[in-house]
Structure 1
Amino acid sequence: MQATLTFLGSGTSMGVPTLGCGCAVCNSALIPGSPNRRTRPSIQVSYGGHNVLVDTGPDFHAQAISEGIRSVDAVLYTHSHADHILGMDDLRPLSFATPEGIALYADDDTAQVIERVFEYTFRKVDRYPTSARVQIHRLGTATGTAVDLFGARFVRVPVIHGRNIIAGYRFGSAAYLTDMSDIPAESLPLLEGLDILILDALRREPHPSHSHLARSIELVEKIAPRRAFFTHISHDLDHESTNASLPDHIRLAHDGLKLDFEIPEIA
């Protein structure tokens, strides 16, 4: 089945322009339409009339307006850091349309943080009356754990994020691995035969919890997808000049970029 992946945000946790910074990339990001304008990282996967998000960052409200998002059917979470969960409350008006609400999927550690941060949404007594209508479903952390959503299978791909193991996801011929510093060997078989591979590439210099440009290029060559896109990009990487230095099958993502691919329909 045909699917479209939309980069709602392609930036790092501080966004681009970064507050207080006057570098050339941040200044160019102030120009309307600049590909250097990067909100916090998130994607939407659309297929068969359904919309599934991976993460809801603090810029989700603006991202949803920019992309004309009028419905969300489910959200998969990668981990519990602020730049990936703080937009959950912006699901509220979208959740009112269905009595069962929006399904959220996260590992237990991430679910606990979401329930703590948004306690007023999940409390059993004296619940805030216009809280988001959402239900958290716990995902296991075993390699290859999967959830079937609306005829498509989303497979959890464990990745290393500094000292933590968090979730990436494979869906059909695409995989989204944001916030990763490396990929454990046991996850590599889950990434075979990809059309699209999306990887963290924070900056040129190494970082303790994020992949840098050279390392991400090495991973692309190792995994060998047909095409690759880098996300979670800081103000250290200018869009046009960095793209000019990359192999033809690798590109920096940008906010609003749309990619078409195939998801096998499951019974």
Structure 2
Amino acid sequence: MDVSGVVAENAPAKPRSTLIFLGTGCSGGIPIATCLLQPTDPPCHVCSQSLSVPPERNPNYRCNTSLLIDYCPIEGEDNYILIDVGKTFREQVLRWFTFYKIPRVDSIVLTHDHADAVLGLDDIRSVQRFCPTNGIAPIPIYLSQETMDSVGAKFPYLLKKKDQEGRFARRVAQLDWKIIENDCKKPFVASGLELVPLPVMHGEDYVSLGFLFGQKCKVAYISDVSRILPTTEQYISKSSGQRLDLLILDTLSKKDFHTVHLGLPQTFDILKKLCPKRALLVGMNHEVDHYKDNELLREWSAREGIYVQFAHDGLRVPIDL
């Protein structure tokens, strides 16, 4: 499940940091229940195939899009930074935290307030240290003010400040809420890693955040987008002098148009504008067949000189950040 080659020039042979794709699917996940409960004739190929073998060996089985950054700036020190905590987070913990022996989460970063990005927040308690007398530090969670307002309404009990040490603690996630701005010029640091907010449009009346991170290798993560704002495009384009080593980009389907997500033709246009060294696509619906459509992407990559593939759940990318 490793993908090699995403390393900076003159980087160590074995990068210390890694990116783990906990989920690469759309909001409903794949398989879509409707395709199984009310099958068409012929049945949906991707949803049917996604149940034919165990999920850990099936790239067409997809949970909500989420990325875990295992950031290790110094030998032996791992910092686990989680981007988005969607409806399928518990399943992702059972599948991939156990498989890769991830012991905890040190920081959380949220892109926006939709269900596939935040509704797993209650399950964060399973990946943070617990003390019955409440003597633990809360996990810092970074989010915009708009997302904070929405999450606070959904999870009011998670906003409560930690009880006094020594008093019996209710077993809920302990979180330290930190507001970030929708501004490329306002970076923040999560567990030692600097991240730059990348505001993008997710529909024409809603701003979601992507993130740029990495010094030795520059990575841009843009998981929910229908249009990249000019300021963000300029900030991460090759012409700006910040050519991306890796772009992780939302691509819902192979169609050209969707109201709140990119289709593959739009993704191709963006790749040509930004010209990253490598791109991995996430957020796919059941129109995308991992095996068949990655062949299409290989042909495009050969023509255009930009390596691009559909990612899959459990994909692990060694990288020197």
* Range into which the TM-score falls when normalised by the shorter chain: over 0.9
Report whether the alignment pairs 1:183 with 2:228. yes
Provide the residue aligned with 1:228 in structure 2: 279
The answer to which of 80-89 and 135-144 deviates more is 135-144
Provide the residue aligned with 1:30 in structure 2: 51
Provide the residue aligned with 2:86 in structure 1: 57
Report whether the alignment pairs 1:146 with 2:196. no
Report whether the alignment pairs 1:162 with 2:195. no
1:148 to 1:85, Cα distance in 2 relative to 1, 3 A? same
Number of aligned residues: 263
- Deviation, 1:129, is 1.4
Provide the residue aligned with 1:171 in structure 2: 213
Report whether the alignment pairs 1:238 with 2:289. yes
1:144 to 1:262, Cα distance in 2 relative to 1, 3 A? farther
SS at match of 1:145: coil
AA aligned opposite 1:111: M
Q: Please give the residue correspondences for 1:67-106 in structure 2 after superposition, counting only pairs within 5 Å.
A: 67=96, 68=98, 69-97=102-130, 99-106=136-143
Percent sequence identity over matched residues?
Answer: 32
AA aligned opposite 1:250: V
Q: Is the 8 A contact 1:121 1:128 kept in 2?
A: no
Q: Is the 8 A contact 1:92 1:132 kept in 2?
A: yes
Report whether the alignment pairs 1:200 with 2:250. yes
The answer to which of 141-150 and 4-13 deviates more is 141-150
Distance 1:150 1:120 in 2: 25
Q: Is the 8 A contact 1:170 1:190 kept in 2?
A: no
SS at match of 2:111: coil
What is the aligned counterpart of 1:12 among 14, 26, 35? 26
- Deviation, 1:142, is 2.1
What is the aligned counterpart of 1:112 among 131, 149, 157? 149
- Deviation, 1:250, is 0.6
1:261 to 1:189, Cα distance in 2 relative to 1, 3 A? farther
Q: Is the 8 A contact 1:121 1:131 kept in 2?
A: yes
User: Where has structure 1 moved over 4 Å in runs of 4 or more?
Assistant: 124-128
AA aligned opposite 2:254: R
Q: Is the 8 A contact 1:96 1:132 kept in 2?
A: no
1:110 to 1:92, Cα distance in 2 relative to 1, 3 A? same
SS at match of 2:197: strand
Report whether the alignment pairs 1:254 with 2:312. yes
SS at match of 1:214: helix
- Deviation, 1:96, is 3.2
Instruction: Give the strand-richer structure, 1 or 2.
Output: 1
- Deviation, 1:150, is 3.1
Ranges in structure 2 where 5+ consecutive residues have no aligned partner: 1-14, 73-77, 237-241, 302-306
Query: What value does the CA root-mean-square deviation take over the aligned residues?
Result: 1.8
1:123 to 1:151, Cα distance in 2 relative to 1, 3 A? closer
- Deviation, 1:228, is 0.3
The answer to which of 118-127 and 102-111 deviates more is 118-127
Instruction: Please give the TM-score of this superposition, normalised by the length of structure 2.
Output: 0.78
Q: Is the 8 A contact 1:179 1:200 kept in 2?
A: yes
Distance 1:177 1:224 in 2: 15
- Deviation, 1:84, is 0.4
Instruction: Please give the TM-score of this superposition, normalised by the length of structure 1.
Output: 0.93
1:121 to 1:188, Cα distance in 2 relative to 1, 3 A? same
Q: Is the 8 A contact 2:64 2:87 kept in 1?
A: yes
The structure with the larger Rg is 2
- Deviation, 1:128, is 7.7
What is the aligned counterpart of 2:170 among 119, 126, 129? 129
